[in-house]
Chains A and B, each alone.
Chain A
Amino acid sequence: MPVQIRVPTPLRRFTGGADVVTAEGSSLREVLDDLERKHPGLRERLLDENGELRRFVNIYINGDDVRFLDNLSSKVKDGDDISIVPAIAGGR
């Protein structure tokens, strides 16, 4: 079940510069695993040493914050739109 993932600027070095990539999975965890296979190094920036979402990383599935869904166990289906957004605007 391919889904679209929008990647923020700081992670595009793992996707060869692409701002949108596709991946497969029926949960967010599976999608991230697939992303890691296709773009090694990316998942490490998103998850902490316990395999949980890092505090400053927000992930949205069709606009919904996964922290209000089921975190990494959130269900994902064909055609879903996922965005990875660092919590801060990163500037001054």
Chain B
Amino acid sequence: MGLIGNTPLLEITKITAGLLRPGVRIFAKLEGFNPGGSVKDRPALKMIMEGLRKGELVPGKTIIDSTSGNTGIALAMLGAALGFPVELVMAANASRERKKIIQAFGAKIIYSDPLEGSDGAILLCRKIIERNPERYFKPDQYANENNPLAHFETTGPEIWRQTKGAVTHFIAGLGTGGTVMGTGRYLKMRNPAVKVIGVEPDDAMHGLEGLKHMASSIVPPIYHEEELDDKIQVSTEDAYEMVYALGQIEGVLVGQSSGAAMVAALKVARGLREGCVVTIFPDFGEKYLSTNLWIGWKSWTRDRLSHLLAKCKTESESVIT
């Protein structure tokens, strides 16, 4: 648990070569280096530790939450390390790797209808708890303020230190909203001029595991859109192509939400004269090799890159600087 956080910041230089003005740099925080494999280790740890501290999580209870994967993996890992049984509700179409990793930690999965998506998992989880409330501790990642607080206390300060206070733009995907809310609040506290930008899929029908199309979903109680300076929509296809490009050109294998974040970061950075743009890559790519993301992955070639980069420019005119 002491190994969670303090992840490295990678400057993105190959994909951006020749595209940005001299005073503009893009950095990505590699959250895949967390022990559970994703940024979710941070809020999972905070929510569990606060639950223990407050006496809400006590021996005999089972940890339960709805999650499509990364939070589930983090909770499964922590449950195993702390000796608590874990039950996770997720839609049956979560990737094979996620299911296996969670089960390898000893946690139990309850599957919800894939046609109902993550909102379906949220609702089923509520029902299960209602049947037997005493049995469960629910970290409640969508509503628990310890989720963004984890980022306020760790992700934000790390970015501030790693950029020596130079960060001008913070860009992250919107899922529960915790990363953007918590990190954004910290960075604005240190420098009110920092711009905080959320990234979401461009449509309710999308293939970006981990991200939420807010307008069509149950809005997480911890998410307060008014705190964002802007929100950028990214298409599933562009995010996937960016994953392929990051692998072959930048040398880092990441997941789909990282691809989306990078597309957004490029759109913002190309509209700037000066800036230190920091984004989050929530996890690495091995968990997705068996998924539909792979369909384009194996056949992608570098000549597709300029097509992708052109898209990241034309849309940058609408982004704030």
Instruction: Say if the beta carbon of B119 comes within 8 Å of chain A.
Output: yes
Instruction: Say if the beta carbon of B66 comes within 8 Å of chain A.
Output: yes
- Give every chain A residue within 8 A of B236 (Cβ-Cβ): 54-56
Instruction: Say if the beta carbon of A73 comes within 8 Å of chain B.
Output: no
Chain B residues within 8 Å of chain A by Cβ, number: 46
Residue of A13, A19, A57 near B204 (CB, 8 A) is A13
* Residue of B66, B90, B93, B175 with highest tally of chain A CB at under 10 A: B93
Instruction: Say if the beta carbon of B153 comes within 8 Å of chain A.
Output: no
* Residue of A55, A57, A88 with highest tally of chain B CB at under 10 A: A88
CB distance from B297 to the nearest CB of A (A): 10
Near A by CB (< 8 A), chain B positions 225-256 give 236-237, 240, 256
Instruction: Say if the beta carbon of A86 comes within 8 Å of chain B.
Output: yes
Instruction: Say if the beta carbon of B8 comes within 8 Å of chain A.
Output: no
Instruction: Say if the beta carbon of B292 comes within 8 Å of chain A.
Output: yes
- Give every chain A residue within 8 A of B95 (Cβ-Cβ): 88
- Give every chain A residue within 8 A of B292 (Cβ-Cβ): 55-56, 58, 87-88
Instruction: Say if the beta carbon of B10 comes within 8 Å of chain A.
Output: no
What CA separation (Å) do A1 and B187 show in the bound complex? 59
Instruction: Say if the beta carbon of A26 comes within 8 Å of chain B.
Output: no
Contact of A88 with B208 at beta-carbon distance under 8 Å, contacts A45-B203, A54-B237 already known: yes
- Give every chain A residue within 8 A of B237 (Cβ-Cβ): 48, 54-55
Question: Is B205 a contact partner of A91 (Cβ separation < 8 A)?
Answer: no
What CA separation (Å) do A18 and B156 show in the bound complex? 43
- Give every chain A residue within 8 A of B34 (Cβ-Cβ): none
Residue of A7, A10, A87, A92 near B93 (CB, 8 A) is A87
What CA separation (Å) do A8 and B120 show in the bound complex? 11
Contact of A55 with B68 at beta-carbon distance under 8 Å, contacts A89-B90, A90-B117 already known: no
Near B by CB (< 8 A), chain A positions 4-19 give 6-11, 13, 19
What CA separation (Å) do A29 and B213 show in the bound complex? 28
Question: Is A89 a contact partner of B114 (Cβ separation < 8 A)?
Answer: yes
Question: Is A87 a contact partner of B207 (Cβ separation < 8 A)?
Answer: yes
- Give every chain A residue within 8 A of B121 (Cβ-Cβ): 89, 91
Question: Is A90 a contact partner of B176 (Cβ separation < 8 A)?
Answer: no
CB distance from A85 to the nearest CB of B (A): 5
CB distance from B299 to the nearest CB of A (A): 11
- Measured CB to CB, the nearest residue on chain A to B115 is A8
Question: Is A87 a contact partner of B291 (Cβ separation < 8 A)?
Answer: yes
CB distance from B26 to the nearest CB of A (A): 24
Instruction: Say if the beta carbon of B212 comes within 8 Å of chain A.
Output: yes
- Give every chain B residue within 8 A of A83 (Cβ-Cβ): 115
What CA separation (Å) do A92 and B237 show in the bound complex? 20
CB distance from B208 to the nearest CB of A (A): 7
Contact of A89 with B295 at beta-carbon distance under 8 Å, contacts A8-B205, A45-B205, A48-B237 already known: no
- Give every chain A residue within 8 A of B67 (Cβ-Cβ): 91-92
- Give every chain B residue within 8 A of A58 (Cβ-Cβ): 93, 292
Contact of A89 with B115 at beta-carbon distance under 8 Å, contacts A9-B120, A13-B216, A56-B292 already known: no
Q: A13-B216, A86-B117 are in contact. List 13 more A-B contacts (CB 8 A).
A: A8-B116, A9-B119, A45-B205, A54-B236, A55-B293, A56-B293, A57-B207, A58-B292, A83-B115, A88-B206, A89-B92, A91-B67, A91-B117
